[in-house]
Amino acid sequence: MRKDSVFFVRRVLLGAFLVTLGLCLPVSALADLLPLGESVSTSRFSDEKIQLLAPSDTGNRPPLIYEAGDDFLGQGELQEGFTTPWGAVWQPQFWFFGTLQSGVFYFDNPRIRGAPAAEWATRLALFANLQLTHTEKLIIGVRPLDRNSFNRYTRVQLNDEFGSSKIE
């Protein structure tokens, strides 16, 4: 008796699977006949032409901290480079750059804090890019002031009481 019930359950499951498969296959075929939602094709590029900005209109980039080799985003001919003993042609370039973000904030919300507070927050990110060829490069980035954590700033909270400032 137990063998018959197992056989029956298997037949029911196989039948349910085949019915589900039979219902799902035509759904993708009917999608073109019965579209839902937006039916206008938007994949074509516009024929409208726009004028690109001249390089003088986009502003000048600030200089890098240190630059060796070809200029970063420079114009003109590239240096020849040299051939390594294993046959690769290297055109080494080294760029050292960074960003400094700093701001002073003041907030006075008695519901959050009892007294007004001010703080000074700073973040420094430094990067070194050693480019041996245009496809082989080594990039190193450090953030010395915030312990290399992406969501932190070095903060100094300024209070009225002398010596009670908090530095993170």
93 Cβ contact list (under 8 Å, min separation 6): 68, 69, 70, 72, 129, 130, 131
At 127 the pLDDT is 94
92 Cβ contact list (under 8 Å, min separation 6): 68, 69, 81, 130, 131, 132
Average pLDDT over residues 15-35: 66
CA angle 103, 145, 105 (to 5 degrees): 20
Mean pLDDT lowest for which of 20-24, 35-39, 123-127, 146-150? Answer: 35-39
Instruction: Spell out the domain ranges in the chain.
Output: 66-167
Mean pLDDT, the chain, whole residue set: 76
Average pLDDT over residues 5-12: 78
At 162 the pLDDT is 46
User: 2 vs 82, which has greater pLDDT?
Assistant: 82
pTM comes to 0.53
Which residues make beta-bridge pairs with 89?
83
pLDDT, tens only, 32-91? 665 566 556 666 777 888 888 776 666 777 788 998 888 777 778 878 888 889 888 888
